A = this chain, B = another copy of it.
């Protein structure tokens, strides 16, 4: 069989076997499958598990259990944060600040708000992907109600200084939402010290199940939201719908594992990433996206000059990685994130995001760098000579 390697942990992760075990306890046949909203003993037990999960996650993030709202994923959390704040605070102001390199869940929500008459400032990061706190400071207005910034960018792994931004926002009385889908469980986060008001995150990026996420909504000082989903007033009225006990308990387990092993795991993965980058650097004319030292240990994004993106990706078809082309469509749209960093279309498309994880090994990393070296060389050999300096 062909050797294949999964190196797309930033897209999603396999669920940890311990997490699967916990999840399955809430599916039946024991009474734990009950609806946590039911008043009988079975419902009470399910509710205990759901509230326990809320406590477990809150504990690991330095939050209070009542500050954790369950959602169906980080996409919903982001939508709820942006639209919920906008709807609730619109009489206070209608200006929102975010960045051009945010995840689509934030960008598209912001755009939806624009079409409802909100004004959105989209900041452009510097060429390494960093949004400088000063940039934020300089665009805040009296009618700014919300700043939304991701902690870690999903394509290039760049880390934003959310603490500095949080301080600026707090000083100005502007709410601050952080998309933490790529950072929760990977970087230390202590919400008892970090003055962010809202934090979106999800389970499937940290060896938990798809279909569940959380939104931290601070109680002191109190943040309010208009719900997006109505129907009975679950989750303190912020989000109605039957709470999926198997998903939230699995989520809690995944957060615990990730936070408890964060130090060891990020060191190990960081070493693997260095090994990968060293291997890739044998190939000439590669460009690192996101500066060394400002990115998370699990994401490495590199552009390959002189190679066409789709062929590169096809050449690497036994390596599960993400490319700099956007979306799961046949369109040749280059990554808007890499474009915002100043890469031209061809380079943006000839970019690969390698993302490592809990089950990545040295031999997988070596397989990857050897395959990349071979394919890049082969494709460059095919190209008309005049192009070699061209791109």
Contacts and interface: CB of A to CB of B under 8 A. Distances in A.
Given A8-B35, A15-B27, A27-B14, A231 B78 contact: yes
A317 interface: yes
Contacts of A34: 6, 8, 11-12, 320
B12 A230 contact: no
Nearest to A203: B244
Contacts of A78: 231
Given A209-B246, A317-B41, A231 B108 contact: yes
Given A72-B76, A109-B230, A228-B228, A104 B12 contact: no
Contacts of A15: 27-28, 33
B105 A40 contact: no
Contact of A6 (B31, B108, B209): B31
Nearest to A320: B40
Interface in A81-112: 103-109, 111-112
A376 B89 CA distance: 51
A317 B40 contact: yes
Q: Is the interface of A mostly helix, strand, loop or mixed?
A: loop
Contact of A243 (B24, B43, B108, B210): B210
Contact of A27 (B6, B41, B209): B209
A242 B103 CA distance: 12
Contacts of A35: 8, 11-12
Nearest to A250: B27
Quick one: copies of this chain in the complex?
Answer: 2
Nearest to A29: B14
Q: Considering residues A202, A209, A230, A232, which has the most beta carbons from chain B within 10 angstroms of its beta carbon?
A: A230
Contact of A247 (B20, B210, B328): B210
Given A6-B31, A24-B20, A211-B211, A103 B41 contact: no
Interface in A1-38: 4, 6, 8, 11-15, 17, 20, 24, 27-29, 31, 33-35, 37-38
Which 8 A-B pairs have CB atoms at the shortest separation, nearest pair first?
Answer: A14-B28, A105-B231, A211-B244, A108-B230, A75-B241, A72-B72, A210-B244, A15-B27
A39 B79 contact: no
A313 interface: yes
Interface in A211-250: 211-212, 228-233, 240-247
A123 interface: no
13 contacts: A8-B43, A12-B33, A13-B33, A15-B33, A17-B29, A47-B328, A72-B76, A72-B211, A104-B232, A104-B233, A209-B244, A210-B243, A232-B327
A332 to B, nearest CB: 13
A230 B112 contact: yes
A104 B231 contact: yes
Contacts of A29: 14, 17, 359
A38 B242 contact: no
A370 interface: no
A14 B33 contact: yes
Nearest to A227: B112
Contacts of A11: 34-35, 37-38, 43
A321 interface: yes
A161 B242 CA distance: 27
Interface in A145-166: none
Contacts of A37: 11, 327-328
Given A14-B29, A210-B242, A111 B8 contact: no
Nearest to A226: B112
A335 to B, nearest CB: 13
A208 to B, nearest CB: 10
A241 B322 CA distance: 17
